[in-house]
Amino acid sequence: MKLAVIGCGYVGLVSGSCLAEAGHDVVATDNDASRIATLQAGKIPIYEPNLDKVLEAVVREGRLRFTADCAEAVRGADIIFICVGTPPTESGAADLSAIDNVARLIAKESRSPKLVIEKSTVPAQTGEQLKRALQVYARDAGAKFRVASNPEFLREGTAVEDFFHPDRIVIGVEDKESEQQLREVYRPILEGKFRCPVHQPDCPPAATPDFVVTTIASAELIKHASNSFLALKISYANVLADLCERLGGNVDEVTRAVGLDPRIGGQFLKAGLGFGGFCLPKDVQAFIKLADSAGIDFGLLKETERVNKQRVDQLLDKVKKALWVMKEKQIGVLGIAFKPNTDDIRLAPAVEVIRRLLAEGAVVRATDPEAMTRARLALPSVHYSADPYEIARGADALLLLTEWEQYRRLDWKQIRVEMARALVIDARNMLRPAEMKALGFEYISFGRPDQVGVTVMQ
């Protein structure tokens, strides 16, 4: 099938590459000419595991090409995926100006029927506005438009795997023809033809995903509802951690037992520094604003957001209590990206922590396996090194802010030797308190016993 993908950010680049790997003829475009030039030169502007392998193969075989000519991409496609950004406005509502611009472009340049698909995360009823814009701005009588919603559930760090092995594919449609076209788009995935994103022969076959057909409005709501619920689970675990600190419980034991209930599940019941990135915070805000506009007070999500914003404050309280004076203290930071296996630092809690440490007069050294290039632009006064042991050298405290697996496997005995003061503050509850204490560390985390700063209510 001839597909166009408009927007070559995280969602568009992964979706376009994987759709091409599924056998379709894909043209990807973006209004950022420098990004297209980078992609045409064979370079990937983001870090995403396995994306380089897929992208290299589909470009070499001619199934995916990039163009800065958005009009060309529109005219040649039967199906158009809109993958542009919907960032928050000052009020927290989704900024849909990029969607509107793309709608006008599609309407102006189309000369034949098109299925136009919302892949971007948008509030409910955006599909109605998209249909109206396409009709109003259409220039050619042969340009008939159908609109569908196909929300993405890709997680940064596992996005390629998520695309080929989804647990569900959701489509919101108004007619059988659109449903059949989208079934055909995803047929190779529904038939389980991809054992793993790099096609290793020993990978087990994938389970068949659910193909969920809904109205457009329901599909739009599903994306925001899913992300907001995940955010709620994280904030719930963090409140449990606070309660454990007051009452002497262990949040790891509590959340593990709670998560064993199949009605609840253990995923995202993880206490620590809270959620960040460009999806969860933005989607929670947008869902709250959408509910407000519909006359619904989504107080549950407002509290979720409030709890999450407090996590940085609570971490800094732990740091200050342990160090007493922050000015001129040498603080090492392990991890800057908002989560492991990505270089994305947008709304990363670690970035806010570092900014606050610098404001207190601390001297900050930081490392991250993938995010240092982006971090240098956002935080130029930080000293960076790819070597975690150099970051620990002479440090008064070491903060673990992103749960990269390689940090768990560090030689912590050697780090103990390198540090001026053997103080580790684990904001992701990655390490085991007993093991760290046995190595001679002062060890602080969230919601676990036997650490500095725990106050047990009598």
Question: Residues with catalytic annotation?
Answer: 279
What angle (nearest 5°) sits at the alpha carbon of residue 345, between those of residues 340 and 346?
125
Beta bridge pairs of residue 82: 6, 118
Amino acid at 431: L
Residue 415 is classified by DSSP as: H
Q: What's the CA gap between 13 and 18, in Å, rounded?
A: 9
Q: CA–CA separation, 220 vs 105, rounded Å?
A: 22
Q: Which residues contact 44 (CB under 8 A, 6 or more apart)?
A: 13, 38, 51, 52, 55
Q: Residue 122: how many CB atoms within 10 A of its CB? A: 24
Q: How far apart are CA 365 and CA 358, in angstroms?
A: 11
To 10 degrees, what angle do helices 251-259 and 216-247 make? 140
Ordered strands of the 79-82 beta sheet: 64-67, 25-29, 2-6, 79-82, 114-118, 145-149, 168-172, 210-214
Q: Sign of the C-alpha dihedral, residues 90, 91, 92, 98?
A: negative
